[in-house]
Amino acid sequence: MSAPVIEVSGLAHRFKETVAVDGISFSVPAGQIFSFLGPNGAGKSTTINVLTTLLAVQQGSVKVAGFDVAEQPEEVRRSIGIVFQEETLDRDLTVWEILEFHGNLYSMPRGERRARIDEMIRLVELEKKRDVLVKHLSGGMKRRLEIARGLMTRPKVLFLDEPTLGLDPQSRIHVWDYIRQVNREGTTIFLTTHYMDEADSLSDRISIIDHGKIIASGTSRELKDALGQDIISLETGDDVNAAELLRTLPEVKDVRPGMRGFSVTITGNGAACLPPVLERLKGAGISVAAVNVKRPTLDDVFVHFTGREIRG
Amino acid sequence: MGHQYLAIYWRDMLRFVRFRALLFSSLVQPALWMAFFGIAMTSSFDRLSSLAPVPEGAIAIPYLTFMAAGVMALTTLFTTLFGGMGLLFDKLWGLMREILASPAPRSHILFGISLSGITKSFIQVIIIMAFGLLLGVQFFVGKGPAAIALSVTGILLFVAVFAIGFLLLSSTIAITMESPESMQAVMTLLSLPLFFVSNALYPAESFPPFLQAATALNPLTYLVTGIRYFAIGPDFFALGHHYVYTATDVFSAFLALAFFAAVMFSLALRTINHAVVN
């Protein structure tokens, strides 16, 4: 495994009385896509702000691209690209001007800057929009432009804070494609998201953060495996008694209440377990309104580790 | 030193030229001042001041000439006082994040904003001068081309150092404020005393003593002094008052403005270095 490009140890950050980040540690090897997954307010943005030098380190140590964020912020800034959560484009500049401004802000020499602008505009397929004002671009195009801007200076790490927030499904998939392409070309990606499918589809590794703490880390597969196997969701006439009843079945690993009804984690094949489960309920005279068997998703992983739905 | 401030400058000027309404109003507004206020006041002031005897050796100048220098100063004041407004919008719309997260030193934001504010003020001041001369303002009387060029340079130097002070004050307020409305309110409140407690449109010499003392603290007074010295001359008579400026007066006026600019720079730098992105 390559050397870590991000190393965080014991990072804590508070805003007055509120603890936003509560002693987290993780590292990201070079060339990976790393996702920070968690609900809004979990501490994702605070973490990304500290990692990108926008907030001072209060406690713990952070190294990005080999530089200490507290000691060498200038060097860190030179080595990273950022796509912020909210739109940070001047609506009254053109696509080309946005990139020209950014290149100048990073003191890129003229020749290199101009060549890179053309390259970036091609990468995110905005050739036809080159001289169009940002205010006339669609949401997806603006995001692509921001990604292009983040990549202008050939960063070692690209930070993406909720990169597809508010985009339509088609634009999201488009943005994912760019992220993968950029990563294939060697840029390490640090991504925060509260979309499970986004983390699942893009990431090499995922850390789930909630209430300022990392509560689980691993690959998407590892996280799902940690959960057990399949899940049967049930809605019955008497959820409380049904749950108690099923808990005694040998195949049942865990029973948890869900948004509606409850869910049963099965060790082994969920579909094969269905007949004995339904048999048992029928025997106890409990009516079944709805049944669903599914492979665990990251949503389930999240519910498992936090006890609640991410969008709740 | 890097050249990142040029990026800030470039973007600000681009926006200035791109917003036609902004460009148009900032160019036409000072001319309107001259055309309406100037001509209207001149007709009544000149009638009144013709009653005052002109001392021996002093040259009486029409009110329009007297106030043209004041309008140049006032226009510079208003333009620069609102010159930091862009920073507030950048902050509110999240655009500031890109700049704050870049390796560009934060002082460059101030340099860039100052430079663009100075450019805009220069354009305005030159327009007022040209328009004023067209209306019959008696600037640069008896001066050859070289002397005129020197005088204009002197005026622009005063405008520049004054502009820096107010642009940085405006930037400091912009970075501290949370909404354009509150910034607008603060600026309006600030501009009124600066405007009236000065020698821009009438002689401060006839003020009561406490107001005169206040005038001495107003940077606008020093800018007006500088402009009148270079545009009109060291010795003239207007509105019943005999003005005599020595080179020392003018030099100390310049130093006062430079001091003001230096104080504002350290204040603005402190503020922007502590600015945190939420």
Tens digit of each residue's pLDDT, chain B (278 residues): 688 999 999 999 999 888 888 788 888 888 888 888 888 888 777 777 666 777 777 788 888 888 899 999 999 999 999 898 989 999 888 889 999 999 999 999 999 999 999 999 999 999 889 988 888 888 898 888 999 999 999 999 999 999 999 999 999 999 999 898 999 999 989 988 898 888 888 888 778 888 888 888 999 999 999 999 999 988 888 877 888 888 899 999 999 999 999 999 999 999 998 887 65
Q: Per the CB < 8 Å rule, is B7 touching A105?
A: yes
- Across A134-138, A194-198, B207-211, the highest mean pLDDT is recorded for A134-138
**Predicted local confidence at residue B255, as pLDDT:** 96
Residues 6+ apart with CB under 8 A from A93: A101, A133, A134, B11, B14, B15
Instruction: Report helix, strand or coil for B251.
Output: helix
From the candidates B10, B14, B98, B100, which should be mutated to test the interface with A, based on the most A CB atoms within 10 A?
A: B98
CA-based nearest residue in chain B for residue A74: B103
Bigger pLDDT: A249 vs A198:
A198
Q: Which of residues 142-161 of A touch B (CB under 8 A)?
A: 149
Angstroms from A209 CA to nearest CA on chain B: 20
Determine the Cα–Cα distance for residues A297 and A218; give it in Å rounded to an integer: 14
Determine the Cα–Cα distance for residues A97 and B2; give it in Å rounded to an integer: 20
Residues of A in contact with B10 (CB under 8 A): 101, 104
Burial of A284 (0-12, 13-18, 19+ CB in 10 A): middle
Pairing of the two strands A59-64 and A67-68: antiparallel
Residue B143, token pair as written in the block: 């001066």
Compute the average pLDDT of residues A93-108.
95
CA-based nearest residue in chain B for residue A46: B278
Determine the Cα–Cα distance for residues B129 and B146; give it in Å rounded to an integer: 17
Average pLDDT value for chain A: 87
Determine the Cα–Cα distance for residues B102 and A38; give it in Å rounded to an integer: 27
Residues of B in contact with A107 (CB under 8 A): 2-4, 103-104
Q: Per the CB < 8 Å rule, is A105 touching B18?
A: no
From the candidates A51, A87, A105, A142, which should be mutated to test the interface with B, based on the most B CB atoms within 10 A?
A: A105
Residue at A58: amino acid letter = Q
* Domain range summary for chain B, segments of one domain joined by +: 4-274
Judge whether residue A312 has pLDDT over 60: no
B95: nearest Cα among A205, A44, A293, A92: A92
Residues of B in contact with A104 (CB under 8 A): 3-4, 6-7, 10
Beta bridge partners of A75: none
Burial of A105 (0-12, 13-18, 19+ CB in 10 A): buried
Burial of B258 (0-12, 13-18, 19+ CB in 10 A): middle
Q: Which of residues 44-73 of A touch B (CB under 8 A)?
A: 49, 52-55
Angstroms from A110 CA to nearest CA on chain B: 12
From the candidates B8, B11, B17, which should be mutated to test the interface with A, based on the most A CB atoms within 10 A?
A: B11
Interface contact A105, partner B, CB < 8 A = yes
Bigger pLDDT: A25 vs B199:
A25
Please report, for residues A233, A246, A275, A292, B41, the alpha-carbon distance to residue A281 in angstroms, rounded to integers and kept in the order given: 14, 8, 10, 15, 97
**Predicted local confidence at residue A82, as pLDDT:** 94
Instruction: Report helix, strand or coil for A259.
Output: coil
B153: nearest Cα among B26, B254, B29: B254
Residue B216: its H or E element? helix B209-217
Q: Per the CB < 8 Å rule, is A105 touching B94?
A: no
A296: nearest Cα among A236, A223, A234: A223
Asked if B15 and B119 touch (Cβ cutoff 8 Å), the reply is no
Judge whether residue A259 has pLDDT over 80: no
Please report, for residues A209, A219, A302, A303, A304, the alpha-carbon distance to residue A216 in angstroms, rounded to integers and kept in the order given: 7, 10, 9, 12, 10
Interface contact A248, partner B, CB < 8 A = no
**What is the distance of C-alpha B66 from the center of its chain?**
16
Domains, chain A, ordered by start: 4-224 (3.40.50.300), 228-295 (3.30.70.920)
A47: nearest Cα among A162, A147, A180: A162
Beta bridge partners of B244: B235
Q: Per the CB < 8 Å rule, is B3 touching A107?
A: yes
Please report, for residues A232, A269, A289, B99, the alpha-carbon distance to residue A263 in angstroms, rounded to integers and kept in the order given: 6, 15, 13, 49
Interface contact B98, partner A, CB < 8 A = yes
Ranges of beta strands (E only) in B202-259 are: 235-238, 241-244
Q: Would you put residue A285 in left (φ > 0), alpha (ψ -120 to 50) or beta?
A: left
Residues of B in contact with A77 (CB under 8 A): 101-103
Angstroms from A109 CA to nearest CA on chain B: 11
